[in-house]
Structure 1
Amino acid sequence: MATGLLDIENAIGAIGHSASSSPVTLGSLVLTGIEVPDRLQVGGRQMLVVHRLPGGGKIIDALGNDPGRLELRGRFFGPDAQSRAQEIERLRISGEQVSFSAAGLSLQVWIVQFVYTYEAKGALCSYILTLERPAEGEQNGESTTSLSEFLGEDTSSALQGLSDTVSELSTGIFTAAGQVGTIIGQVTPLATMIGAGSAFAGVSNALEVVNGVAQSGSNLANTPSALSGISNSLGIAKAGLNSIIDQCSLNVDNINITNSQSFLAVSGNAALLSAAVDSEGLVGRTQAVLEGAKSI
C-alpha cells in the first residue's frame, strides 16, 4: 500500500503530542509517544439464551459476561519501526500469555492477531493488534479454576508420567532385563510389576477414575458423593504407588550390577521408582486439596 505525504505528516506531527500520550505496555514492550495506538476498541457481550414461546413471549437466561477482544491500531515510526513491530510478532508466535496495560486496563492477554504494514522503506510500520481477554473473574485476580479442574490436572499429570515410563519399559529391552531379576537376586521382574493385575494397573485404574470424575466439570465441592468416590480412588492409587516405590527400591538395592542386563534392570527399576515418587507427590497434593474442600 502506497504511503501518502499526509500519512507521513500526521505521523511526524504526532511526535509533538508524545508527552500527553499515556504509555501502553505489552509484555516487556513499552509503547510511548507516537507508538501509542490511535484506537483501542473495548467491549464485550452478555451471553443470553432466548426461549421463544407461543404468542410472542420470551424466557431469557443470562449466562454471564463474555469480554470482547481488544483491538488496537497504531504505528511505529523511525529507524527502529520494523524491529519494534517484529518484537510484537515474536510475542504472537510464542503463543504465551502476556501482560497488557492501557486506558485503565491491566490484564493478562493472548495475542490473537498482529499484522503490520511495511511503509516508507521501513520508516513507518502501521499495525493492527487483536488481543484475547481472560474470563471476568480472572481479570479481577480471582481464580476461576474449579476444584474438578485442579484435581484433573494433577491426576492427568500423574497418570501421564507413569504411562510414559511404563511405555518405555515395555518396549522390550527393559522388560527382558527385568526378567533376569529372578536370577541375579530376590527381586520382582519389571515385566511382572507393569503387567495386567499389577500394582501399576491398579494405580492406573484408580487415577483414571479420579480423572474422569474431575474432568466432568461439576463443582465437586458441592457433591459429597463425588468427593467420597475420589477419596477412595486416591487411597487405592496412593497405596499402589507406595507398593511400587517399596518394590523398586528393594530391587535397586538387591540387584548386583555385573553385566549389561543387570545394569538395564537397575535402570528400569530406577525409572519406575522416579515416576512413582513424582506421581505419589501429585496424589498427595490432590488429597490435601480434597480434604480442604471437605472442611468447607
Structure 2
Amino acid sequence: MGLTLSALENAIGSAGRLGATAPVMLGELVLTGIEVPDRLQVGGRQMMVVHRLPGGGRVVDTLGNDPGRLELTGKFLGPNAQARAQAIEKMRVRGTPVAFSAAGIALQVWIVRFVYSYEAKGALCSYELTLERPAESVSSANAGNTLANVLGSDVGSGLAQLSGVISDVSDGLFVESGQLASIVGQVMPLGTLVGAGGSLAKVSDALTTTSALSQGVTNLAGASTVLDNLSRQLSISGQGLMSALQVSGQNIENIQVESASSLSAVVGNAAVQSVGADVGGLINRSNASVGQALGLTAQTPAVHS
C-alpha cells in the first residue's frame, strides 16, 4: 500500500494531538495518540432457539450472550513504529491471554489475528487486530463497573494531586537548581525526587497505567489478568510513594536552613509529604478494592510504614 500525501498529512496532524485520546492497553503495551485504533468494532449476539408453532406463533429460548470478536485498525508512526508492531506480533505468536483495555472494555483477550503494513520505510505501520473475548455475564459487568468507578475516582484524584505538587515544586525550585544541589543536609536533591525517573515520576507513570486499565470498563471483575495487572501497578505506585515519603522526611529533618533556597527546599519537601499522605490513602483504598475483586481476604496496604 502506498503512502499518500493525504495519509501523511492526517498522520502528522494526529501526532500533534497525542494527549487528546484515551490510551489503549494491550498486554504491557500502552497505545496513545495516533496509535489508538481508528476503528474498534464491538458487539456480539444473543444465542437463541426459535420454536415455530402452527398458526405463526413462536417460542424463543435464549441461551446466553455470545460476545463477538473485537476488530481494531490503527497505525504506528515514528522511528519505533515497526518495533511497536512487532511487539504485538510476538504476543500473537505466544498465544497466551493478554490484558486489554479500551472504549469502555477491560478484559482478558486472545490475539486471533494481527497484520501490519510496512510503509514509508518503516516510519508508518498500519495494523489490523482481531481479539477473541471471554464469556461475560450481566452480573460480572455490573461488578466491573462498580470497581471501575472506585478506581477512576481515586486514581484520577491521585494523579491530579501528584501533577500539581510536581508542577509547583518544579516551578519554585528548578530555577535555583545550582543552589539546591549544594544545600547542606539534603539526603536527595528535591529536583531528583520529582524529576524524570524520580520516585514521584514513577508513581505518576504507574497510576497513569492503572487509569488506562480501569477507565470505563464493562467486565473488569471477571478478568483476572487485568486485576493482577492493576494490583501490580498499584504496588509499584505504593513503593515509589513510600520512597518519596522517606526521602522527603529525611530531607526535612536534615536540611540546615541558612538561606532562601534551603527554606524553599524544606517547603518543597513538606509539600511532597502532605500530598504523599493523601495519595497514599487513595492508593490503599484502590488496592483494597482490587484485592476484594480478586477474592483476597487479607492484603498488605500498598503504602505502609
Provide TM-score, normalisation by structure 2: 0.47
**Structure of greater Rg:** 1
Provide TM-score, normalisation by structure 1: 0.49
Return the structure number with greater relative CO, CA threshold 8 A, min gap 6.
2
